[in-house]
Amino acid sequence: MRACEASLRRLNTDRIDLYQMHGYDGHTDVMETLRALDDLVRSGKVRYVGCTEFSAWHLMKALGLADSAHLTRFAALQSYYSLAGRELEYEFVPLCLDQGVGILA
């Protein structure tokens, strides 16, 4: 919460369009993270939440938990993708298509 509020001050704005989690935090309960992100969206400080550097399993777990608790779910995934690195196509593209999650490559 403090990090988001600090970002709002630095950006001199009252809302962030896409607030992203950079990496899966295995030391913090997933529901605690999802509740905090949901609080930011419900308070109007953030429009959408996204993630980067998640495994497909972690992303699907977070989406399932968010759905079951009626919390804001991840709307976007940012991941590496190039002609040389096309791993995104194997698990993430089908997952994101199925779950309605956007991809930022």
pTM for the model: 0.91
The amino acid occupying position 76 is A
Per-residue pLDDT tens digits for 20-61: 999 889 899 999 999 999 999 999 999 999 999 899 999 999
Domain count, the chain: 1
* Full domain range(s) for residue 93: 2-104
Question: Are the C-beta atoms of residues 29 and 11 closer than 8 Å to each other?
Answer: no
Question: Are the C-beta atoms of residues 101 and 95 closer than 8 Å to each other?
Answer: yes
Query: Which CATH number goes with the domain that contains 74?
Result: 3.20.20.100
